[in-house]
Amino acid sequence: MKIYCCGCEAHVNARLTDGKEIYPHRKDLYKLPFWKCDECNNFVGCHHKTNDRTAPLGCIPTKEIRSVRSLVHSELDPLWKGGKYTRKQLYAILNQKTGMEGGYHTAKIRSVDDGMKIYQLLKSL
């Protein structure tokens, strides 16, 4: 499957694999599907709880981008889980402010700089 790889900065022919390869130390993840870029060894998880369990969760991030995505969620999730906004309202704000094609989703963040901009935006809410 062609997936954008942030490490290679290109659409790559990603290979479907499993958690046993990606996280050999995590037996609880062995059966989960992942897409891997064999050029740079970065990977992305899948929507494994849906009907299309091998649909990628977005582009293939680098370790640094995965970290910034987690940082974004550390600000984003408490805003809707705490009731300050509904999840729909919050994503509508992010859609408007980021202008991401097809709407905002954290899995679409392709650079540390973009992730930090979204993090700062969330901190200002």
Tell me the per-residue pLDDT of 99-111, one tens digit each, with 9 for 90 and over.
888 899 999 999 9
List CB contacts of 124: < 8 A, sequence separation 6 or more. Answer: none
Q: Report pLDDT digits (tens) over 1-31.
A: 999 999 999 999 999 999 999 999 999 999 9
Q: Is 56 within the bounds of a domain?
A: no
DSSP state, residue 6:
T
Predicted TM-score (pTM) of this structure: 0.90
CB atoms within 10 A of CB 25: 5
Structural domains counted in the chain? 2
Domain that holds residue 106: 63-123
Q: 119 and 76, same structural domain? A: yes
Q: Is 53 within the bounds of a domain?
A: no
DSSP state, residue 60:
B
Q: Are the beta carbons of 33 and 14 closer than 8 angstroms?
A: no
